[in-house]
Amino acid sequence: MKFDFKNFNPDSLNDYEQKALDAFDTLTKKVGKGNDFLGWIDAPYNYDKEEFEKIKRCAKKIQSDSKYLVSIGIGGSYLGIKAVDSAMQPYFNFNPKTKLIYAGNQISGEYMNELLEFLKDKDYSINVISKSGTTTEPSIAFRFLREAIEEKYGKEEASKRIYATTDKEKGALKTLADKEGYETFVVPDDIGGRFSVISAVGLLPLAVAGFDIDEFMNGFKEAHDEFLKRDFKENPAIRYAATRNLLYNQGKKMEIFVSYEPKLKYISEWLKQLFAESQGKDGIGIFPLSVNNTTDLHSVGQMIQEGERNIFETVIDVENPIKDIEVKEDSENLDGLNFLSGKKMSYINKKAMEGTTIAHVDGGVLNFKVTLDRINEKEIAKLFYFFEVAVSVDGYMLGINPFDQPGVEKYKTQMYKLLGKPGY
């Protein structure tokens, strides 16, 4: 992974060095707000090794008897899985042993109806994921899917095809799992939802989809060693946090995560959740957005180039594409594209990125770049951990608790009132 600050570093960053290091110390010494949710910091080494092996065993079993795994979850119990899954699968010719399908990440009756219809003649298992075990969206989805799988396989076989990932001892899902004898996996108490892709939350479905979870953990280990160095110049996570903080104080209220590879769309979705839930509170915080270029250069690109100057960009680039293709010479050249003949599409895409960066920086939009060597388990894990450290350091610089999300409760209260839930 490489980090490019050259279009991003404002002059006065030095004033932020001490503040950033203090925030870093608060994080690593575990003395700040929300410090009971810092299990993710040491999780790359300090994880449950027995459960890790159980995950691999269960993944093999699911691969042997299921063409699909329905992964039920929302927020942190969905986005990390979806981000890795989308980034790592081919666009077409998509034929893993077991494919992940998602549910419980919305409340669409249309989606549920079609999903139940689709699954009727397919072999499948279910992984229901909820740390609290009480979240409405996955609970509703699980009610439908549980009924369907029990109807299809009978109660006894169905209970062997349902895997519950939840709190180790409390919550409605844990109670149900114990009663029905489902295989269970633990979301550690000290790891919040949006940081939980490193736990069984991410590991089980990703192993089932055929990804190398050992490599995934190796990526987290490397990132732990690299991004926990207490060095402002050498640790890009601290530097990035400080830069965001300075920009926010200069009126840059929105950050746009940019990618030039459509597969990375859900990496941006994961980033949006990480930053929004961690920092958008107490009336402050940078609003996270995302674009997929060059598609979005033909829509919101105009706004980025010439709209209000309250934005900056963080580009997620990939150095080495897995597959590429070269533009050929055309004897007629009616489209006038022969100047590109012999050039790879990845090269053209790279020039689009470089050109866009120049134009945006010229237009007053600062631009930071994170480059993955290639899209693989290790690099994605490193990317996750880099941003987790950065969001935490920056959160402490802002004076907020980066590890809670009290605002998420507000819509639920109003929804429950409208639905007539007892007690609301």
| DSSP state, residue 344 | B
3-state secondary structure of 170: coil
Q: Looking at 41-49, 75-83, 215-223, 389-397, which segment touches ligand PA5 (CB under 6 A)?
A: 75-83
Measure the CA angle with vertex 279, ends 390 and 404; round to 5°: 100
CB of residue 135 to ligand PA5, shortest distance in Å: 3
Instruction: Establish if 202 lies at the interface with ligand PA5 (CB under 6 A).
Output: no
Which residue's CB is nearer to ligand PA5, number 77 or number 127?
Answer: 77
Query: Helices 377-398 and 265-279 meet at what angle, rounded to 10?
Result: 20
Instruction: Establish if 159 lies at the interface with ligand PA5 (CB under 6 A).
Output: no
3-class SS shares of the chain: helix, strand, coil, % to 5: 55, 15, 35
Instruction: Establish if 75 lies at the interface with ligand PA5 (CB under 6 A).
Output: yes
Q: Which of 225, 224, 202 is nearest to 213 (CA)?
A: 202
Q: Rounded to an integer, what distance in angstroms lies between the CA atom of residue 391 and that of residue 194?
A: 11
Instruction: Establish if 277 lies at the interface with ligand PA5 (CB under 6 A).
Output: yes
Burial 246-260 (b: 16+ CB within 10 A, else e): bbbeeebeebbbbbb
- Complete edge-to-edge strand list for the sheet that includes strand 183-186: 99-103, 68-72, 124-130, 162-166, 183-186
CB of residue 193 to ligand PA5, shortest distance in Å: 2
Which residue's CB is nearer to ligand PA5, number 128 or number 365?
Answer: 128
Instruction: Establish if 80 lies at the interface with ligand PA5 (CB under 6 A).
Output: no
Q: Rounded to an integer, what distance in angstroms lies between the CA atom of residue 36 and that of residue 59?
A: 30
CB of residue 131 to ligand PA5, shortest distance in Å: 4
Burial class (CB in 10 A: 0-12, 13-18, 19+), 30: middle
CB of residue 123 to ligand PA5, shortest distance in Å: 26
Instruction: Establish if 193 lies at the interface with ligand PA5 (CB under 6 A).
Output: yes
Q: Contacting ligand PA5 (CB under 6 A), which of 74, 381, 389, 390?
A: 74
Instruction: Establish if 132 lies at the interface with ligand PA5 (CB under 6 A).
Output: yes
| DSSP state, residue 338 | G
Q: Rounded to an integer, what distance in angstroms lies between the CA atom of residue 350 and that of residue 15?
A: 34
Which residue's CB is nearer to ligand PA5, number 44 or number 76?
Answer: 76
Catalytic entry in 49, 179, 298, 323: 298
Q: Looking at 124-132, 257-265, 328-336, 344-352, which segment touches ligand PA5 (CB under 6 A)?
A: 124-132
CB of residue 162 to ligand PA5, shortest distance in Å: 16
Return the number of other C-beta atoms located less than 10 Å from residue 190's C-beta. 16
Alpha-carbon distances, residue 196 vs 29, 77, 191, 202, 409 (angstroms):
21, 7, 6, 7, 19
Catalytic residue check, 298: yes
Catalytic residue check, 17: no
How many residues bind ligand PA5 (CB under 6 A)? The answer is: 15
Catalytic residue check, 179: no
Q: Contacting ligand PA5 (CB under 6 A), which of 26, 135, 235, 349?
A: 135
Residues 3-42: x where in contact with ligand PA5 by CB under 6 A, - otherwise, as a string: ----------------------------------------
CB of residue 167 to ligand PA5, shortest distance in Å: 8
In the complex, the residues that contact ligand PA5 under the rule CB under 6 A are 74-77, 130-132, 135, 138, 192-194, 277, 405, 408
Active site members? 277, 298, 412
